[in-house]
Amino acid sequence: MQEEVRNTGQLKLKLLHLSALVEEITRRSVIAFRTRDRVAAVDIIKADEEINRLEIAIEKDCIALLTGCTLSKDETRFIVAVLKINNDLERIGDLASNVARRVLHIGQHDMVLFPQELLSLADAVLDMLTTSLDALVDGDIGRARAVFNRDNEVDALNRRMYDVVRERIVADPSQTDKLINFLSISRYLERIGDYATNLAESVVFIAEGNIIRHQNNDMPGGMSTGSNKHISQP
């Protein structure tokens, strides 16, 4: 059992450990569906238990720090952000596990070709997640805001997947059950992109204290006029 953290520095280290695990699991889930690797898919599903355990531990640490320590304004803001980041990471882990579960079905249909749109969507989502987590590590709001620019791209690819699947079903209705798996994976990946955007918003909140949720579409280019580096350590 991990020891409880005693300060926000230790809390950040534990959060970054969870972040690295979630990123790894998400990347492995994409590789698993690209390669139809059922064995890897089973391992990914099992790994979600560790993510859940860490998420609960971090939440308890946040509560303990908030109720048991004298904190500065910046420290309090950081802990509040960690509570949200922690939940978002856990949800990404769940979605990566859901992708792996689809692999257990797709792996049975070796002749089904993956749409290029789905592969492009997976690449874009992984880039969003990596960028948002790098921004969290470095406190880099420039990188965080760059994530916002990818969200519309991911949404468009997800919408396109519905058209692709419909066209394939019309062409060959016998493939319907198999093709529905593609829609599920597309939706899971699109949701991971949404949570990656949430992570980026939390990086901005830690650095600036601004809640920018629901405002990204109104920000030209999604860029800030402020400095790109803020608060590498709380």
CB 230 within 8 A of CB 162: no
**Residue 89: CA atoms inside 13 Å, Cβ hemisphere, count?**
32
User: CA 198 to CA 51: how far, in whole Å?
Assistant: 18
- Asked if pLDDT for residue 217 goes beyond 80, the answer is no
Give 122 or 2, the one with higher predicted confidence.
122
**Residue 85: CA atoms inside 13 Å, Cβ hemisphere, count?**
32
Give 207 or 89, the one with higher predicted confidence.
89
pLDDT at res. 234: 37
- Asked if pLDDT for residue 71 goes beyond 90, the answer is no
Give 233 or 132, the one with higher predicted confidence.
132
pLDDT band, very low/low/confident/very high, at 175 (cuts 50, 70, 90): confident
pLDDT at res. 3: 66
CB 127 within 8 A of CB 153: no
pLDDT band, very low/low/confident/very high, at 223 (cuts 50, 70, 90): very low
Share of the chain above pLDDT 90, in %: 73
CB 189 within 8 A of CB 158: yes
Residue spans of the domains in the chain: they are 8-222
Helices (H), 69-140: 73-106, 116-138
For 140, phi then psi, to 5°, come to: -100, 100
pLDDT at res. 109: 63
pLDDT at res. 1: 47
CB 31 within 8 A of CB 96: no
User: CA 78 to CA 231: how far, in whole Å?
Assistant: 10
User: CA 97 to CA 47: how far, in whole Å?
Assistant: 8
- Burial class of residue 115, CB neighbours in 10 A (0-12, 13-18, 19+): buried
pLDDT tens, residue by residue, 90-147: 999 999 999 999 999 886 666 678 899 999 999 999 999 999 999 999 999 999 999 9
- A 10 A CB-CB count for 230 gives 17
pLDDT band, very low/low/confident/very high, at 59 (cuts 50, 70, 90): very high
pLDDT at res. 2: 56
User: CA 108 to CA 35: how far, in whole Å?
Assistant: 12
User: CA 148 to CA 221: how far, in whole Å?
Assistant: 9
Two structure tokens written together for 67: 């109720």
Q: Which string of b and e fits 87-104 if b means at least 16 CB within 10 Å?
A: ebbbbbbbbbbbbbbbbe
For range 52-56, the mean pLDDT? 96
pLDDT, averaged across the chain = 87
pTM listed for this prediction? 0.87
Give 103 or 211, the one with higher predicted confidence.
103
Q: Which fold has domain 8-222?
A: Methane Monooxygenase Hydroxylase; Chain G, domain 1 (1.20.58)
- Which residue is associated with the tokens 């690797």? 37
Residue 121: C-alpha distances to residues 112, 125, 156, 215 (Å): 18, 6, 9, 23
